[in-house]
Amino acid sequence: MQHPCLSCGACCAHYRVSLHWSEAEPDLGGQVPVALTETFGPHQRCMRGTWAEQPHCIALQGTVGASVSCSIYDARPGACRELRMSWEDGTPNPQCDQARIAYGLAVLTREDVERALGP
């Protein structure tokens, strides 16, 4: 069974993805492509498309709720790396649940995740 995130993507199209400007600064070891970000504050950037009334990250490819991928997965911002799927660590995640609900997707259950990833 495929990882549940690959048939979801709701978090990438529901939240603003903020990052410290250094995450997009290659001279400081940043890996996030600066061209895919925009200035958000004095020390912050955000992924293009996520600072909108209806957020949708520019790096999200595919259709939310069907089949998705991240075009910069290996270089994604820290905020994306830290946002965990519900039950990934044995507990629900309200952010994951809220994003899924906003797109009409059922919240993940412990059983869903165990079936996909194993116990």
Give pLDDT, residue 94: 98
pLDDT at 28 over 90: yes
Give pLDDT, residue 1: 63
Give pLDDT, residue 118: 79
What share of residues in the chain are helix, strand, coil (percent, to 5)?
35, 15, 50
Coil, helix or strand at residue 101: helix
E runs forming strands in the chain: 18-20, 37-39, 44-47, 60-63, 67-70
Q: What is the pTM of this model?
A: 0.91
Write the pLDDT tens digit of every residue in 50-92: 999 999 999 999 999 999 999 999 999 999 999 999 999 999 9
Mean of pLDDT values over 35-51: 96
